[in-house]
Amino acid sequence: MPRITESIISDFPGGKPVSAWTLTGRDGLSITILTFGGIVQSIVVPNEDGDFVDIVLGFKNPSDYLGSHPYFGATAGRIAGRVTRGKLTIAGESYPLPINDPPHHLHGGICSIDKRIWQATLLSRKDGAPSLKLSLTSKDGDNGYPGRVDLTATYTITHNNRFIFETEARSDRPTPVSLTHHSYFNLAGEGYGSTDDQELEISCNSAFEADEWMGLTGKCHDVEGSLNDARSAKPVGEFRKGLWNEHGDLYWLGESNQVRPVARLRDPRSGRTLEVATDCSCLQFYSGIGLDGTLVGKSGTSYLPGAGVCLECEGYPNAFDDGKRFGSIIVEPNKPQRTRTEYRFSNQACSLISS
């Protein structure tokens, strides 16, 4: 039966209460969410044979998320991704953002919403699916951003093993918001090791150009004939080697008011498959190449390069004053911004890669 349970983390530093909420769906999928950072600590996926496997990287001890880590499972923002040179301009007015990934601004800045304690509210749905809403207010001037913004992130587990991540932003003045869910996926299990042999498909024709520090240049190109073309599935390890510094790329999906499939990842050993669907305009693929073995995960395994991959659905990070070439992430007063991303888990016997 679907259920929701709460565990109070009594030893979390700082004196403020933090909870771990576990949502379990009708068909066995469960996720655990921390009110600290809106972090998804685990996603446990059932197999056809009744076994359960945690398929996202992270820490067993919630207080470890206070330390330095590469946004494991976090809700990242106010702007997910890199704002080039930290230059935010709205209606001709400049707001310099902190440079926390030199020479660019990354994932909302220093001690942003991924390091804050969110307020939890249980939601009641007609279909009985367990659903949790987290709420947070980001004040005017937070990390240099103008305007007060009220944010919500809603986590729902539906039938057929789907995890739905929805966001809403309301502001008292025009300001950019683009949140993303930042789990590192390894469909063989979080402590398995490399994702190199897992099969990746990204249903996208265009990708953005980046500079040598991975900041966006404003140019978008067709992936046809390029090494970052993953429209036909290929092993993650093979795909990663064709990327600059083996890092990843931001893909342009186009604007849409409908959730549509944009990527798939499959573990050939288990047949475990993740399909990502979203109404966001961009997808950031990150290979996990920056993991260097210094972080030890939930199973006691050190996370080495490629131990997990990210599929971050978001808006174009610089879409605030560029003539709406790549949409707009500006939230206007009395006009809330909403997004929806679905992570659909299944078992698929056949390979994504054509023989």
Please say if 104 is a catalytic residue: no
Strand order in the sheet with 3-8: 3-8, 19-24, 30-34, 40-46, 52-54
CA distance 207 to 223: 6
Q: How far apart are CA 182 and CA 148, in angstroms?
A: 23
> Contact at 8 Å (CB) between 266 and 199?
yes
CA 352 – CA 343 distance, rounded (Å):
17
Selecting among 199, 201, 275, 312, the annotated active-site residue is 312
Find the catalytic residue in 104, 182, 201, 342. Answer: 182
Q: Tell me, yes or no, if 312 is annotated catalytic.
A: yes
- How do 3-8 and 248-252 pair as beta strands? unpaired
Q: How far apart are CA 222 and CA 220, in angstroms?
A: 7
Q: Where does residue 270 fall: left (phi above 0), alpha (psi -120 to 50 degrees), or beta otherwise?
A: alpha
8 A C-beta contact, residue 22 and residue 43: no
Place of tokens 């729902």: 156
Residues 97, 101: Cα–Cα separation, whole Å: 11
Residues that are catalytic: 182, 312
